[in-house]
Amino acid sequence: MFKKKVYSTILTGVLAFTTSVPSVMANIPAVIEGMNEPESEVEGNLFLPFSDLLEIDSTDEQELFSHIFVSISEDSQVVFTHELNDPLIEISIGEHVHYLSKDSEEIRLSLSEGLEDETVIQILVHRLEETDHNYSEQLFEWNVEEFIALIQDYDSEELTEEPTEEPVDDSIESSIEIEEDNENQSEDSEDTDDDTTIEENISALDPEEELEDETEVEELEQDDKVKEIEIEKETGLEEEGEQTTEGIQDSSSLNMRAAEMFNSSVSPERISNGVNVNYTTIVGASGFSIDSLPWGTSGYQRVGTTTQWVNQEVRITQETRNGEYVLIERSNELIGWVDRRALRMAQIGHVNHSKVISLRVRVSSGGYSVDTLPWGTPGYQRMTRTSDFINEEVTAVRQTNNGEYVLLEDSNGSLIGWVDHRAISPAAQKITNGTDVNYTTIVGIGGFTVDSLPWGTSGYQRIDNTRAYENQQVKVVQETRNGEYVLIEQEDKLIGWVDRRALRLAQTGNPRQSTTVQFEATLNRGGYTIDSLPWGTQGYQRIDNTSHYLGEKIRVVRQTHNGNYLLAERNGSLLGWIDHRAVEVTYQVGMVNNSFPVDYYSTVSRGGYSLDTLPWGVEGYQRIQWSQNITGETVKVTQKYGSYVLIEKGGTPLGWIDKSALNGTPQRKTYNEGSVVSYSARLKSGYTIDTLPWGVSGHERLSRTQFYENQEVTVRRQTGSYALIQIGSRVFGWVDRKALQLPVVYIDPGHGGSDPGATNGNTTEAERNLVSALILRDILKARNYEVIMSRTGNQFLSLADRAKDANALNPDIFLSIHHNAMGGAAAGTARGIETFIYHRVASGYGQETNRNNFRTEDPRIAESLRLADAIHPQLINRTGMYNRGLKGNNFHVLRETDMPAVLVELGFIDNASDLALIRSRQFQERAAVAMADGIDRYFKR
Ligand SMILES: [Zn+2]
- How many whole angstroms from 750 Cα to the centroid of ligand 1? 5
- How many whole angstroms from 873 Cα to the centroid of ligand 1? 20
Q: Write down the pLDDT at residue 530.
A: 87
- How many whole angstroms from 612 Cα to the centroid of ligand 1? 65
Kind and range of the H or E element at 243?
A: helix 243-252
Together in a domain, 600 and 579: no
- How many whole angstroms from 820 Cα to the centroid of ligand 1? 6
Together in a domain, 563 and 600: no
Query: Which DSSP string do the residues of 597-608 spell out, in sequence order?
Result: EEEEEEEB--SS
- How many whole angstroms from 894 Cα to the centroid of ligand 1? 13
- How many whole angstroms from 853 Cα to the centroid of ligand 1? 24
pLDDT category of residue 230 using cuts at 50, 70 and 90:
very low
237 domain-assigned: no
Per-residue model confidence as pLDDT tens digits over 297-334: 888 888 888 888 887 888 888 888 777 888 999 888 89
Query: In Å, how far from its chain's centre is CA 531?
Result: 16
Per-residue model confidence as pLDDT tens digits over 123-179: 665 554 444 344 455 566 666 666 665 554 443 333 333 333 333 333 333 333 333
pLDDT category of residue 197 using cuts at 50, 70 and 90:
very low
923 domain-assigned: yes
Which residue range(s) make up the domain with 888? 744-938
Which among 106, 393, 905, 925 is annotated as catalytic?
Answer: 905
Together in a domain, 462 and 331: no
pLDDT category of residue 920 using cuts at 50, 70 and 90:
very high
- How many whole angstroms from 801 Cα to the centroid of ligand 1? 16
Together in a domain, 788 and 919: yes
- How many whole angstroms from 748 Cα to the centroid of ligand 1? 11
Instruction: Show which of 345, 372, 390 is a domain's final residue.
Output: 345
With vertex at residue 777, the alpha carbon angle to CA 772 and CA 781, rounded to the nearest 5 degrees, is 155
pLDDT category of residue 109 using cuts at 50, 70 and 90:
low
- How many whole angstroms from 746 Cα to the centroid of ligand 1? 17
- How many whole angstroms from 14 Cα to the centroid of ligand 1? 138
- How many whole angstroms from 867 Cα to the centroid of ligand 1? 20
Dihedral angle at the C-alpha atoms of 15, 18, 23, 24, nearest 10 degrees?
-10
Q: Is residue 919 predicted with pLDDT exceeding 90?
A: yes
| DSSP assigned state of 258 | P
What is the rounded CA–CA span in Å between residue 769 and residue 751?
8
Q: Is residue 202 predicted with pLDDT exceeding 70?
A: no
What is the rounded CA–CA span in Å between residue 49 and residue 887?
117
Instruction: Show which of 158, 182, 210 is a domain's final residue.
Output: 158
318 domain-assigned: yes
231 domain-assigned: no
Together in a domain, 18 and 131: yes
214 domain-assigned: no
195 domain-assigned: no
Together in a domain, 117 and 136: yes
Q: Write down the pLDDT at residue 558.
A: 82
Active site residue 313: no
Together in a domain, 781 and 874: yes
Q: Write down the pLDDT at residue 273.
A: 84
Q: Give first-to-last CA distance, the chain, whole Å.
A: 90
Per-residue model confidence as pLDDT tens digits over 550-587: 899 998 888 887 778 998 888 777 788 999 899 887 77
Together in a domain, 23 and 101: yes
What is the rounded CA–CA span in Å between residue 340 and residue 294?
11
pLDDT category of residue 96 using cuts at 50, 70 and 90:
low
* Total domains present in the chain: 8
Mean pLDDT, rounded, of the chain: 75
What is the rounded CA–CA span in Å between residue 88 and residue 96?
16
Contact 757, 797 (CB under 8 A): no
Q: Are strands 325-330 and 333-339 parallel, antiparallel or unpaired?
A: antiparallel
- How many whole angstroms from 764 Cα to the centroid of ligand 1? 10
3 domain-assigned: no
808 domain-assigned: yes
CATH classification at residue 267:
2.30.30.170
- How many whole angstroms from 818 Cα to the centroid of ligand 1? 4
Q: Write down the pLDDT at residue 117.
A: 59
Per-residue model confidence as pLDDT tens digits over 52-95: 333 333 333 333 334 555 655 555 556 666 655 555 566 666 55
Give me the phi and psi of 864, to 5 degrees please: -65, -40
- How many whole angstroms from 767 Cα to the centroid of ligand 1? 11
What is the rounded CA–CA span in Å between residue 907 and residue 438?
102
735: nearest Cα among 765, 695, 698, 774: 695
Q: Is residue 820 predicted with pLDDT exceeding 80?
A: yes
Together in a domain, 464 and 574: no
* 243 vs 453: which has the higher pLDDT: 453
What is the rounded CA–CA span in Å between residue 775 and residue 782?
11
- How many whole angstroms from 809 Cα to the centroid of ligand 1? 23
pLDDT (mean) for 380-409: 84
Q: Is residue 507 predicted with pLDDT exceeding 80?
A: no
Together in a domain, 793 and 919: yes
Together in a domain, 533 and 557: yes
* 874 vs 474: which has the higher pLDDT: 874
CATH classification at residue 827:
3.40.630.40
Instruction: Show which of 298, 330, 345 is a domain's final residue.
Output: 345
Most confident of 369-383, 510-524, 557-571: 557-571
What is the rounded CA–CA span in Å between residue 166 and residue 169?
8
pLDDT (mean) for 599-609: 93
- How many whole angstroms from 537 Cα to the centroid of ligand 1? 88
Q: Is residue 862 predicted with pLDDT exceeding 90?
A: yes
pLDDT category of residue 769 using cuts at 50, 70 and 90:
very high
Together in a domain, 464 and 533: no
- How many whole angstroms from 651 Cα to the centroid of ligand 1? 59
Contact 460, 418 (CB under 8 A): no
pLDDT category of residue 189 using cuts at 50, 70 and 90:
very low
Contact 621, 646 (CB under 8 A): no
Q: Write down the pLDDT at residue 46.
A: 46
